[in-house]
Structure 1
């Protein structure tokens, strides 16, 4: 679940913060009413902002925009890393996304909060104001990692000037492309959707990596997280898949409490999905069998079958690789590039 922190500075603001927080049931919300809660008197707003910028997906300041800007400014890390930051005036009349409008979803969240509060969302990003295709919005909505955020400005700038922007895709493209986006144009700026992060077909190339790959992992009991890390990295390199494409890990259910595997997943923010031996046996495909594994855990292959199961029957990108008592396979779920036109 995503994490949001609300901070207010007056009694009126505290009531507005409470109303706004109630509009986000899909977030774990915390409210800090600095003039209402005696326990917050004397605490540092700067320290609050520093921590919130690291551990939150959304920060909402209910008060003056200047306070929010000064509080978060020292801790800005970059377009791909900063959380969404929104300002609401204490009376709840205006909702203003001030940071990470697209990648962090601040613009969309501002519209949502404004609707619930009966307020006016004040969205200032140029692509939204002129109804121009926003590549970072598309990346977020389609589960793609953005590898080189500074290139976003070149793509967006070209579109705002009415220039053609190129796109190259390693996946099938469905539907009509947005205005001024071309699959064939020899454009100065463009974006690449796929796993080939070394491809540079444009002078200004933005890489978007679909997060659709699952790492199936088998390991001996008590395996260190660093050895799992090395084995996964070796499989990724063998398959030519960037780490940013990995969206989850999978294994057999007897490994659901394996400390090293859990630590590996926690380090990379990956959910671990486990399957019973019976479920793994039902996986469709051609897998690398092992009599020893079958005798030990009840199924002839863990890593390949687990990866395919987690990917919803997706295709294997990398068959079983073994390193220091760890086996890894990679599978990708089906992905197609779709635009609204």
Structure 2
């Protein structure tokens, strides 16, 4: 995690430095009110707390306020948008007695970070999320742990409420499952309930009347195209191939191609629009991909390798699940990582 820590008193600066040194698994940057920061060499909260908070809220994974809860709440209030995107926010008193998970406890990781801060400072971690205090399965924690996209946040809230009330919900997975499934989750084979979780690559896969889809990020799209192919053409071809395969764009983790396409505008725009990683390989690297691939003499003449999309998909992401489809100068192939759900 990239963490920004703000302190507002002399003693708060002491804790600030201890946290920056003690949270070794994270990248921490400490900030303080200018008059106290000068004494300890901590950069100033500038040009104002409001401006600093706005900047940090969108550029770090977590914020820790060492001071009154009111300061933290008033500072972040204008920028709170969604539990899917908000950073983790914690508040610790300047004596280091309590550390409160204030925002994004599950998806943002504030609850876990509060435990880590407590281990460094000796503070009592204050966790208020209902599933945690009732020791129940938390959908959003599971999703984060397994790198899954939660498609229906309202259903996720409903699922948590049912579990806290002692009810059971359904569970099915189109992938292998490791570990022990919590007793409050009833497998599809045991009983068909009205509401349940389905771990799947498709939002159309709805085994329950009210299905909460969890989609793992495990698909790689291999792309080849002519130079300066219009971005809309590339996007249309990619979405068409995904639809034919019955795979949601939410299941895509990355796109891949040859290094000759590292700066291809259409591919870069696609990756940026959908927040997909983009990786490229040299022709020599692509030659080492294992498998049987659709060969093209034309592609080999241009790139030095007989196939770009299939080879790059395999090299970046695993098993080839959809061979090359070529339309309008764009080639697309899909690979899937060996993903499994872990409890």
Common fold: TM-score over 0.5:
yes
Aligned to 2:313: 307
SS of equivalent to 1:321: strand
Q: Deviation at 1:27?
A: 3.7
Preserved CA contact (<8 Å) 2:23 2:120 = no
Could you tell me how far apart the structure 1 residues matched to 2:45 and 2:60 are?
Answer: 22
Query: Match of 1:140?
Result: 144
Deviations 1:105-161 (A, max 9, x none): 111111111112222211111222222111111110011111111212211122122
5+ long unaligned stretches in structure 2: none
Q: Deviations over 1:203-251 (max 9, x none)?
A: 4432110001111122333445554434333332232221211111212
**Partner residue, 2:115:** 111
Q: Deviations over 1:257-314 (max 9, x none)?
A: 4455445434444333222323322323332211111222222111111111111x32
Q: Distance in 1 between matches of 2:18 and 2:209?
A: 47
| Alpha carbons of structure 1 residues 220 and 15: separation in structure 2 relative to 1, 3 Å | farther
Greater shift in the superposed pair: 115-124 or 180-189: 180-189
Give the Cα–Cα distance (whole angstroms) in 2 for the partners of residues 9 and 186 of structure 1.
54
Of residues 72, 78, 83, the one that matches 2:82 is 78
Q: 1:5 to 1:91 in 2, by over 3 A?
A: same
Q: TM-score, normalised by structure 1?
A: 0.89
2:306 pairs with 1:294: no
Verify: 1:168 aligned to 2:167, yes or no.
Answer: no
Please say if residues 211 and 247 of structure 1, whose CA atoms lie closer than 8 Å, have aligned partners that are also in contact: yes
Task: Call closer, same or farther: CA 1:263–1:16 in 2, change over 3 Å.
Answer: farther
The residue that corresponds to 1:232 in the other structure is 238
The yes-or-no answer on 1:100 pairing with 2:104 is yes
How many angstroms apart in 1 are the aligned matches of 2:230 and 2:97? 53
Could you tell me whether the CA contact under 8 Å between 1:274 and 1:306 is conserved in 2?
yes
Paired residues, number: 336
Give, in angstroms, the shift of residue 26 of structure 1: 4.4
Between 1:240-249 and 1:97-106, the stretch displaced more is: 240-249
Of the three residues 279, 286, 289, the one matched with 1:280 is 286
In the other structure, the counterpart of 1:16 is 15
Q: CA RMSD in A?
A: 2.4
Change (3 A) 1:26 1:153: same
TM-score under structure 2 normalisation? 0.88
Query: Do the aligned partners of residues 258 and 200 (structure 1) sit closer, same or farther apart at CA in structure 2, a change above 3 Å counting?
Result: closer
C-alpha spacing 1:21/1:42, structure 2 compared with 1 (3 Å): closer
Which range moves more in the overlay, 224-233 or 202-211?
224-233
Q: Which of 187, 190, 193 is the matching residue for 2:196?
A: 190
Distance 2:45 2:15 in 1: 20
After superposition, give the CA deviation of every residue in 1:3-57 in whole Å (9 maximum; x if it has no partner). Answer: 3222221122122122212333444433221243478577342333333222221
Distance of 1:40 and 1:118 partners within structure 2: 26
Q: Note closer, same or farther for the CA distance 1:10–1:323 as it changes in structure 2 (3 Å cut).
A: farther
Whole-Å Cα distance in 2 between the matches of residues 183 and 203 of structure 1?
Answer: 15
